[in-house]
Structure 1
Amino acid sequence: MLRYFLSRLTSLAISLLVASVVIFLVVEVAPGDPASYMLGLNAQPDTLAALRTELGLDVPKPERYVDWVTGMLSGDFGMSYTYRTPVAQMVADRLWVSLPLALLALSLAVLIAFPAGLFAASRRGRPGDIGVMAATQLGIALPNFWFAMLLVMVFAISLRWFGAGGFPGWAEPVAALRALTLPAVALALPQAAILTRVLRSALLDTLDEDYIRTARAKGLSRRQALWRHALRNALIPVLTIIGLQFSFLLAGAIIIEQVFFLPGLGRLIFQSISQRDLIVVESVVMLLVFAVILVNFLVDLAYGAVDPRLRSRA
C-alpha cells in the first residue's frame, strides 16, 4: 500500500508542476495589458510604466513564474491588481460559498443516484428500470441554468419558500443554507442523472460475472447478491464519476453562481478575466486545478481500498 501511495503522490506532484506552467503561460499570452486596462486608453507612458513597475509586470516572465509558485507554496497568492487586496483573502472569502455549494450539490446527487441506480439495476428491463432511465435522460438533456431559472420562478417567486439570489453569509447558518439550496438542487440533478446511469451500468456488468452466478447458485437472491457482492465491485467507475463531479461542481458553477448572484470562486474568475486581473485568474485557476488533482489522488487511494488488486500492480 505504501508503494501505491508514493506512486500516486509522485504523479500528483508532477501534474501540479505541469499545470502551473501551462496556466502561467496561457494567462500571460492572453491579449491585453492589466495596467493599460486600469488606466484607460489615454494614460501617459510614464504613468503606465510606473504602474507596471508597481504591479511587478516589468519583471521577466520566468522570474515572475518562480515568484508566483514559491509564493503559493508559502500561502502567499499575491496582491490583486484591481482591488489591491491579498488574493488569498479573496479566495478564502469565496471558498466558503463555493465549497459548501459543491459539497451540498454532490451530497444531493449521491443521495438521489444510489437508490435510483440500485432500483433500476434490480429491475432490469421492467417498467421501473425504464422509468428511471427516462428520467435520467431528461435530467442530462436539460441545461442546469434553465432548470435554475425554473426553480427561482417556482420556489422563490411563486411560493416564496427561498430567496431568488444572494448570500447572507455564515453568520446566519439557516439563512445561508436556504440561499444555497436552490443552486445546489440545480447543480445536483444533472449530476445525479449521470451518476445513476453509471451506477446502473456498472451493477449490470457486475451481475453478469461468474462469481455472482455462483452466489446465486448457493441460494442468494438477486437482491442479496446485488448488495453483498455486486455493489462493492461496481464502485470503481462510480468513484471516478463522483471525483470528476466534485471537481466540476467546485470549478464549473460559474453560470449557476451568476443566476443566483452567489459570490463564489466561479464568479470571481469571471470578474477577474473581464478586469484583466491576471494574478487572481492564475491563482484561483491553479487552486481549482489543485483541488481537481487532489480529488483524483484521493479517488486513486479509494480504488486501492476497494480493489486490493490495484495495490499490487503499483
Structure 2
Amino acid sequence: MARFIASRLVSLILSLVVASVAIFVVIELVPGDPAGFMLGLNATPEAIAALRAEMGLTDGPLARYLTWTGGMLTGDFGTSYTYKVPVADLVAARLWVSLPLTAYALALSTLIAVPVGLLAASRRGRPADFAVMGATQLGIAVPNFWFAMLLVLVFAITWRVFPSGGFPGWEDGLWPGLRALTLPAVALALPQASILARVMRSALIETLGQDYIRTARAKGLSQGQSVRRHALRNALIPVMTILGLQFSFLLAGAIIIENVFFLPGLGRLIFQGITQRDLIVVESVVMLLVFAVILVTFLVDVAYALVDPRLRRA
C-alpha cells in the first residue's frame, strides 16, 4: 500500500509541475499589455513603465515563473493589481462560498443518483427503468445555466421560497447561507446526478451478471440482499471515478452558475480577473483549482486501493 501511495504522489507532483508550466505559458501568450490595459488609453509611457516594474513584468519569463511558483509553495500567491490585496485573502474569502456550494451539489447529486441507479438496475427492462433512463437523458441534455434560470423563475420569483441571487455570508447564520446556495446547488447537481445514475445502473447491471452473484442467489439470497452484500461494493469503483471527476468539475466549473446567481465564489473571481486583466489572480486561482483536481484524483486512486485489494497487490 505504501508503494502504491508513493507512486501516486510522484505522479501528483509531476502533474502539478506540468500544469504550472502550461498555465504560465498560456498567461504569457495572452495578447496585450496588462499595465497599459489597467491604466487606460490616456496613460503616459512613464506611468505604464512604472506599473510594469511594479507588477514585475520587466523581469524575464523564467524569473517570473520561479517567483510565482516559489511564492505559491510558501502560501504567497502575489498581490491583486485590481483589488490591491493579497490574492490569498481573496481566495480564502471566495473559497468559503465555492467549497460549500460544491459539497452541497455533490451531496445532492449522490443522494439522487445512487437510489435512482439502484432502482433502474433492479428493474432493468421494465417501465421504471425506461422512465429513469429518459429522465437522466433529459438531465444531461439540458444546460445547467438554463435550468438555473428556470429555478429562479419558479422558486425565487413565483413562489419566493429561495433567494434569486447573492450570498449573505456565513456570519448571518447557517440557514440563510444554505438558502442562498440551494438553487445554485440544485442547478449544478441535477446534470451530474443524471450522469452518475446512468453509471451506477450500468455498473450494477454488469456486476449482477457475474458468477458470484448467481452463486449467492442460488444459496438463497434475495436480489436485494445480493445487491447490498456483494454487488454494490464492486459497482462502486466506476462510481467513485465519476464522483471524483464531479467534485473537480463542480469546484472548477461553476463559473457560469456563480455568475447567474451573483455568488462571490472562485468562479466569479476568475471571471472578474479575466475581464480586468488581473493576470496574477487568474493564474493563481486556476493553479489552485488544478491542484484541487489533481488532489481529488489522487484521493480517488487511494480509495480504489481501499475498495479493491487487487490494485494494492498490482
**TM-score range for the pair, normalised by the shorter chain length:** over 0.9
AA paired with 1:268? L
Alignment-derived partner of residue 73 in structure 1? 73
Shift of 1:34: 1.0
Alignment check: 8 A CA contact 1:32 1:276 kept: no
AA paired with 2:294? I
AA paired with 2:176? A
Alignment-derived partner of residue 260 in structure 1? 261
Alignment-derived partner of residue 179 in structure 2? 178
Alignment-derived partner of residue 49 in structure 1? 49
Q: Give, in whole Å, the separation in 1 of the partners of 2:33 and 2:296.
A: 34
Alignment-derived partner of residue 154 in structure 2? 154
Q: Give, in whole Å, the separation in 2 of the partners of 1:9 and 1:291.
A: 14
Alignment-derived partner of residue 187 in structure 1? 188
Partner of 2:147: helix, strand, or coil? helix
| Structure 2 spans left out of the alignment, 5+ residues | none
Alignment-derived partner of residue 269 in structure 1? 270
Shift of 1:42: 2.6
AA paired with 2:198? R
Q: Give, in whole Å, the separation in 1 of the partners of 2:235 and 2:175.
A: 37
1:14-163 matches, within 5 Å, as 14-163=14-163
Alignment-derived partner of residue 214 in structure 2? 213
1:219-238 matches, within 5 Å, as 219-238=220-239
AA paired with 1:301? V
Shift of 1:55: 1.1
Shift of 1:216: 1.4
AA paired with 2:34? P
Count of residues in Structure 1 that have an aligned counterpart in Structure 2: 313
Alpha-carbon displacement from aligned partner over 1:34-64 (angstroms, at most 9, x marks no partner): 1001111232111111110011111111011
Mean CA deviation greater in 216-225 or 282-291: 216-225
AA paired with 2:175? V
Alpha-carbon displacement from aligned partner over 1:44-89 (angstroms, at most 9, x marks no partner): 1111111100111111110110011110010000001111110000
| Structure 1 spans left out of the alignment, 5+ residues | none
Alpha-carbon displacement from aligned partner over 1:225-254 (angstroms, at most 9, x marks no partner): 111111100111100000000001001011
Alignment check: 8 A CA contact 1:33 1:276 kept: no
How big is the alpha-carbon RMSD for the aligned residues of Structure 1 and Structure 2? 0.7
Alpha-carbon displacement from aligned partner over 1:284-306 (angstroms, at most 9, x marks no partner): 00000000000000000000000
Q: How high is the TM-score relative to the length of structure 1?
A: 0.98
Alignment-derived partner of residue 201 in structure 2? 200
* Identity level (%): 72
Q: Give, in whole Å, the separation in 2 of the partners of 1:42 and 1:22.
A: 34
Q: Give, in whole Å, the separation in 2 of the partners of 1:80 and 1:33.
A: 16
Q: How high is the TM-score relative to the length of structure 2?
A: 0.98
Q: Give, in whole Å, the separation in 2 of the partners of 1:157 and 1:213.
A: 53
Runs of 4+ in 1 over 3 A off after TM superposition: none
Alignment-derived partner of residue 307 in structure 2? 306
AA paired with 1:205? E
Q: Give, in whole Å, the separation in 1 of the partners of 2:190 and 2:252.
A: 17
Q: Give, in whole Å, the separation in 2 of the partners of 1:89 and 1:68.
A: 16
Q: Give, in whole Å, the separation in 2 of the partners of 1:164 and 1:266.
A: 18
AA paired with 1:305? L
AA paired with 1:105? A
